[in-house]
Structure 1
Amino acid sequence: MPRGFVVTGTDTDVGKTMTTAALALWLRHAGLDLAPMKPTQTGASRDAGGLWHAPDLDYTLGMLGLDPDPAERVLMQPFCFEPACSPHLAAAPGETPPSVAAIAAAAAALAARHAAIVVEGAGGLMVPLNGSEMMIDLFAALALPVVLVGRAGLGSINHVLLSLEALTARRIPVLGVVLNETRPQDPADAFIRADNPRTITRFSGVPCLGALPFIPEPTPARLLSAAQALPGLAAAFAPLLQGVAP
């Protein structure tokens, strides 16, 4: 089985991609040979040479300063589609839809090239991959622990706890929760943002690894600094970093 972890979210547009890039930067800075993977990307496009480009993967690769060869890129983004919709709707007639088996095979091949992988999901846990499989089925098959990303403000407790219940029901281990400030925050809501991590942990028993601040113009340095400020990363990723030279 591959080594690494999954980044998934309570919903779409909760900051999974920025969180993936921030965690990957932190781990690579710690010396881990970590490769990113975006198994299903809708809203993708082809370049002049016909190679698919997955925007979320491109963002993370850019932040990491990585330029994989075409063969490795295919492993990192095995299913790309142009329509910006749920993966199960994106495959045109005659196209192969995403499947757990095919993605797991690509993940294993990518993991054979690197010490670990980080797999970014699409949308939330119950997003359909095809007519019979959902994103959560993929995570169960990969047997990798999950980092769950939620919004930092009002409403995150309900969404996070529901997602954690679904993961627990499938016996999928969870490394922790990252709350993400996806937009400028109202100072009047600071008491809510301060309470959310405590309440999520109290009701779920899952640690909150910290909150990523809103970064209007992200750069690798700013993302790394934000990740370094997350108090729970060292404990959560200690097993993955075991034996890695500093």
Structure 2
Amino acid sequence: MSKGLFITGTDTDIGKTYVTALIVKTMRQAGYNAGYYKAAISGAPTVAASDAGFVNKFADIHEPEDMILSYLYQHAVSPHLAAKLEGHPLEKEVILQAWKRVTEAYPYVTMEGSGGIVCPIRHDEKAHYYLTDIIGWLHLPVLVVADAGLGTINHVVTTCEYIKNRHIPIKGIILNNWQGGVMEEDNVKMIEEITGVKVIALVKKGDTILHCDPKVLEGCYAEV
């Protein structure tokens, strides 16, 4: 039985892909046979030049492109709009089959979301899919990535409330771009107090490994 974990962010461009790569690399270096998967990426010319390509290389997975990503869109817009513009909407069965394939290959699979948690993936006359739908299909718990700086309390709390209201378990929070100091230390305290969710790691620019006990990371994954 494989275990999975879904990585989401409080917004786009907050370092979700970088942190995801650190998670997978840390797991692999600790002896866990960990893989990676992403359903859809928009705004990249090739898989190799995309978020998925970065994780594939950084974490030393080196899987074929169709193993790590199902949908690549050229337009740098939300996947649902890119799919409309390019005439290639995401299909539920494609995601389910891709997930089956990667979970058969790896006992631990980290799935990265697209943008923030309220990201529409498909929105047309035939279907309306959001990231939370994919999380539900695959029965995944969530780990939230956020920036460590000013404004993050509101972003993390609202993201966590949205996830909790959909009865999706949150396993932890990771703060990126950590510099330390009174404000950022207080951000950790307030985030944990308001959400009831533990900040499990702090990531500085240039980190090549996640400073988190691999056993704590392993505990974030759930059977799928």
TM-score by length of 1: 0.81
Question: Which residue does the alignment assign to 2:118?
Answer: 126
Secondary structure of the equivalent of 2:116?
coil
Q: Which has the higher strand share?
A: 2
Question: Which residue does the alignment assign to 1:49?
Answer: none
Question: Which residue does the alignment assign to 2:3?
Answer: 3
Post-superposition Cα deviations, 1:198-242, rounded to whole Å, max 9, x if no partner, equal: 111111111111210122xxxxxx412xx1x236x533423759x
Q: Which ranges of 4 or more aligned residues in structure 1 deviate by more than 6 Å?
A: none
Secondary structure of the equivalent of 1:106?
helix
Task: Please tell me whether the aligned partners of residues 83 and 122 of structure 2 are also in contact (alpha carbons under 8 angstroms).
Answer: no
Task: Please tell me whether the aligned partners of residues 22 and 208 of structure 2 are also in contact (alpha carbons under 8 angstroms).
Answer: yes
Counterpart CA distance in 1 for 2:173 and 2:93 is 27
RMSD (Å) for aligned C-alpha atoms: 2.2
Alignment of 1:213 onto 2:198: no
Question: Which residue does the alignment assign to 2:208?
Answer: 223
Q: 1:53 to 1:97 in 2, by over 3 A?
A: farther
Structure 1 letter corresponding to 2:75: P
Task: Please tell me whether the aligned partners of residues 147 and 174 of structure 1 are also in contact (alpha carbons under 8 angstroms).
Answer: yes
Alignment of 1:36 onto 2:36: yes
Post-superposition Cα deviations, 1:150-170, rounded to whole Å, max 9, x if no partner, equal: 110111111101111111111
Question: Which residue does the alignment assign to 1:204?
Answer: 195
Shift of 1:94: 6.6
Larger radius of gyration: 1
Q: How many residues align?
A: 218
Counterpart CA distance in 1 for 2:60 and 2:110 is 16
Secondary structure of the equivalent of 1:176?
strand
Shift of 1:23: 0.6
Counterpart CA distance in 2 for 1:239 and 1:82 is 33
Question: Which residue does the alignment assign to 2:68?
Answer: 76
Secondary structure of the equivalent of 1:107?
helix
Task: Please tell me whether the aligned partners of residues 35 and 61 of structure 2 are also in contact (alpha carbons under 8 angstroms).
Answer: no
Task: Please tell me whether the aligned partners of residues 2 and 108 of structure 1 are also in contact (alpha carbons under 8 angstroms).
Answer: no
Task: Please tell me whether the aligned partners of residues 25 and 60 of structure 2 are also in contact (alpha carbons under 8 angstroms).
Answer: no
Secondary structure of the equivalent of 1:91?
helix
Q: 1:54 to 1:35 in 2, by over 3 A?
A: farther
Alignment of 1:24 onto 2:24: yes
Question: Which residue does the alignment assign to 2:81?
Answer: 89
- Which residues of structure 1 form unaligned runs of 5+? 47-51, 216-221, 242-246
Q: 1:41 to 1:54 in 2, by over 3 A?
A: farther
Shift of 1:109: 1.6
Q: 1:164 to 1:31 in 2, by over 3 A?
A: same
52-61 vs 16-25, which moves further? 52-61
Shift of 1:62: 1.1
Structure 2 letter corresponding to 1:104: L
Shift of 1:44: 2.2
User: Identity across aligned pairs (percent)?
Assistant: 29
Task: Please tell me whether the aligned partners of residues 76 and 107 of structure 1 are also in contact (alpha carbons under 8 angstroms).
Answer: no
Question: Which residue does the alignment assign to 1:244?
Answer: none
Question: Which residue does the alignment assign to 2:57?
Answer: 62
Question: Which residue does the alignment assign to 1:45?
Answer: 45
Secondary structure of the equivalent of 2:137?
helix
- Which residues of structure 2 form unaligned runs of 5+? none
Post-superposition Cα deviations, 1:128-150, rounded to whole Å, max 9, x if no partner, equal: 10111111221122211111001
TM-score by length of 2: 0.89
Q: 1:125 to 1:137 in 2, by over 3 A?
A: same
Alignment of 1:105 onto 2:100: no
